[in-house]
Structure 1
Amino acid sequence: MVNVTSMKYRKLGKTNINVSEISLGTWQVGGKWGEPFSHDTADQILNAALDAGVNFIDTADVYGDGESEKAVGRVVKSRSEWIYVATKCGRRLNPHVNEAYTPEALRAFVEASLRNTGLDTLDLIQLHCPPTEVYYRPEIFELFDRLKEEGKIQNMGVSVEKVEEALKAIEFLNVTTVQIIFNMFRQRPAELFFREAQRRDIGVIVRVPLASGLLTGKFRPETNFAPDDHRNFNRNGEAFDKGETFSGLDYNTGLEAVEEIKKLFPYQQNFAPVALRWILMHEAVSCIIPGASKPSQLYSNLQALEVPDLTPEQREGVKAIYEAKIKPLVHYNW
């Protein structure tokens, strides 16, 4: 277990909130990873994270059909520390299309999240990977100014699929954060977007940092995933954006690339903390939100706080493998 004194904190853009470098995402806690939602497991993971100094939790109204938000709110209210809660809205729309996004619908989702969490205000509300067209509609973003005036939210951000969407979103002055996929297998954000985010003082929240577990180095060709685990049913984007599962990479190609990268770190038995440390070496990043379906996975992720920075040679090695094996397959799609 990582001692709370090991945790480091970074400013979350113009929110001026200081958040733990390694924070907690709760998609796994909410299901769709082969396990049914369990409030007991959620309580264990959340409390373990907070005990380790995590002070920022990301959830969404669709995780566990609202049960994740309930668990987060319950645990946060039981603690004495100041914990920041971020949630997301929009994915409940069915069909999930541009036309379904209206200020009225989004307001209803925010108010439902307040009820689920039992909180008086949401520290951060994020649009949950809406269709690209939504980022070109000022009336959607203006709604969140009203919600802030009413005290229902403190900050507004977006969770995106594509760099294009991130760059468009941060043109709106009330967007304070962008949640984006960034890892050794998804490096495009480190180009133009990170520079623009720093220039505009945007908090960067990194999601899917381990490429759905690929970058733990623990998977094999014969690894089986449960039928209701998205790593089984969404490999080709059957249910939602393909980029959410293994960062959009073909599974076997990913396995081969991981084995090559691991050779750069021969003395590191647990590879997940190395993959997370690589992300934290990018100064534009405010925090990482790896998920955990049990406390042991949380503790593994927290080991990134103790892993030394990658050497220049190791970083170049990771870059070379990405350029050769990964970039042609994913770089320009997201």
Structure 2
Amino acid sequence: MDKRKVGPFEVSAIGLGCMSLSSGYGPPAPREQAEQVLKGALDAGYTFFDTAAVYGMGHNETLIGEVLKDHRNEIVLASKCGLTNGDRREINGRPEVLKATCEASLKRLQTEVIDLYYLHRWDKRVPIEESVGALAELVAEGKIKAIGLSEVSAPTLRRAHAVHPIAALQTEYSPWTRNPEIAVLDACREIGAAFVAFSPVGRGFLAGGARNPQAFAEDDIRKAMPRFQGEAFAANLKLFDAFAAIARDAGCTPAQLCLAWLLQKDEIIVPIPGTTRPDHMRENAGAAEVRLSPDIVARLEATVNVGTVAGERYSAQLQASVDTEIA
């Protein structure tokens, strides 16, 4: 797979988002299946693996630590803090909490150092400078190598970067979520940070894997997202049919169309699709070989955009927990 830069690291152009192996879209994947995804990803050329303390409340980090510990030197490992406090989910950016989270993550991941460590959410009760200052101390102590931020605005990114270089900013970006185009992509270019795109296939919708919300598991986070509800979902389903037709004309799958579109947007972008299925993992890797013509790109952007997608990205409650510009 082609390579891209994330801070001091060279990583596969497409990374593996590991959350869904443990939480988010239903119960954890069976252990054997999760191992097939993770070890198969190594064979498919993935070198960038993304997890977090909050995914399954430690389950995901433990899984990755156990499955990939013998391959630690072959991968760039990213994790996150700031969304847990001990054994409970909580946005908490106090320095002592971030440091304790890091210690626990190092043990679960069975590693002496985390390559890229993100502040998962900015705790607005704590100045961003204090939270990033704590992460800078972890760098100085040799427990993490580089600092990232997740779901923050361009002004917050600049404030953080003034304290310590920020290697990457992570937020949602796909053909149907274009908020990064408002300001944070430009801010990343300005400071030399990579942009890591999570949910790059629209939480499965733009891959064709979410055609019936009634079939979602009870703990599926999409149940609370307006785009997957009622009239909005029905409207978006019609939009997907047009999107799938563009993918057929491009000679790729809908998921590959999303990922190839992101890769061609800018070399600073690294998508990290997640999946519980080995075949989807390999399909996503294949997007690195897809080249889209200007006509295909124009059709895609005319079909799926801020004006054509029905429903907000997050509910009002979830939106209040992030610090991003709204399209």
TM interval, shorter chain, is 0.7 to 0.9
Verify the 8 A CA contact 2:205 2:211 in the aligned structure 1: no
2:52 matched to 1:69? Answer: no
TM superposition shift of 1:159: 1.1
- Out of 229, 232, 236, the position equivalent to 1:254 is 236
Matches within 5 A, 1:1-334: 7-12=1-6, 15-79=7-71, 82-93=74-85, 96-97=90-91, 100-132=92-124, 134=126, 136-160=127-151, 165-166=156-157, 168-221=159-212, 224-232=215-223, 234-236=224-226, 250-267=232-249, 268=251, 270-309=253-292, 311-321=293-303, 322-326=305-309, 333=326
Aligned residues: 311
Could you tell me which residue of structure 2 aligns to residue 242 of structure 1?
none
Secondary structure of the structure 1 residue equivalent to 2:283: helix
RMSD: 2.6
- Following superposition, the deviation at residue 223 of structure 1 comes to 5.8
| Shift, 1:59, TM fit | 0.3
1:150-178 deviations in whole A, cap 9, x for unaligned? 11111111111656654554454332210
Q: 1:63 to 1:166 in 2, by over 3 A?
A: same
Q: Residue 264 of structure 1 aligns to a residue in which SS?
A: helix
- CA contact under 8 A between 2:95 and 2:131: conserved in structure 1? yes
Counterpart AA for 1:150: E
Asked whether the 8 Å contact 1:209–1:290 carries over to 2, the reply is: yes
Contact 1:56 1:84 in 2 (8 A): yes
Name whichever of 16-25 and 253-262 sits farther off.
Answer: 253-262
Measured at CA, do residues 53 and 95 of structure 1 come closer, stay the same or move farther in structure 2, by a change above 3 Å?
A: closer
- For the 8 Å contact 1:37–1:67, the answer to whether it is kept is no
The 1:36/1:165 distance shift into structure 2, 3 A limit, reads: same
Contact 2:118-2:149 at 8 Å conserved across structures: yes
- Secondary structure of 2:80's counterpart equals strand
Alpha-carbon offset, residue 117 of structure 1: 0.7
Which amino acid is 2:297 matched to?
R
4+ residue runs of structure 1 moved beyond 6 angstroms?
none
Structure 1 residues 180 and 228: CA distance shift in structure 2, 3 A = same
1:253 positional shift: 3.1
Q: What's the TM-score, normalizing by structure 1? A: 0.84
Deviates more, 1:166-175 or 1:150-159: 166-175
Give the gaps of 5 or more residues in structure 1: 1-6, 237-244
Q: CA deviation at 1:19?
A: 0.5
Distance in 2, Cα, partners of 1:132 & 1:168: 13
Distance 1:176 1:130 in 2: 16
Q: Share of identical aligned residues, percent? A: 27
Name the CA distance, whole Å, in 2 between partners of 1:223 and 1:327.
18
Deviation by residue 1:211-261 (Cα, 9 ceiling, x = unmatched): 1101103443576211122223x224xxxxxxxx76xx9433322222222
Greater Cα shift, 208-217 or 170-179: 170-179
State TM-score, norm by structure 2: 0.85
Q: Which SS does the other structure have where 2:111 is aligned?
A: coil
User: Does structure 1 retain, via aligned residues, the 8 Å contact 2:25–2:220?
Assistant: yes
Structure 1 residues 164 and 264, CA, compared in 2 at 3 Å: closer, same or farther?
Answer: farther
Cα deviation for residue 301 of structure 1 reads 0.9
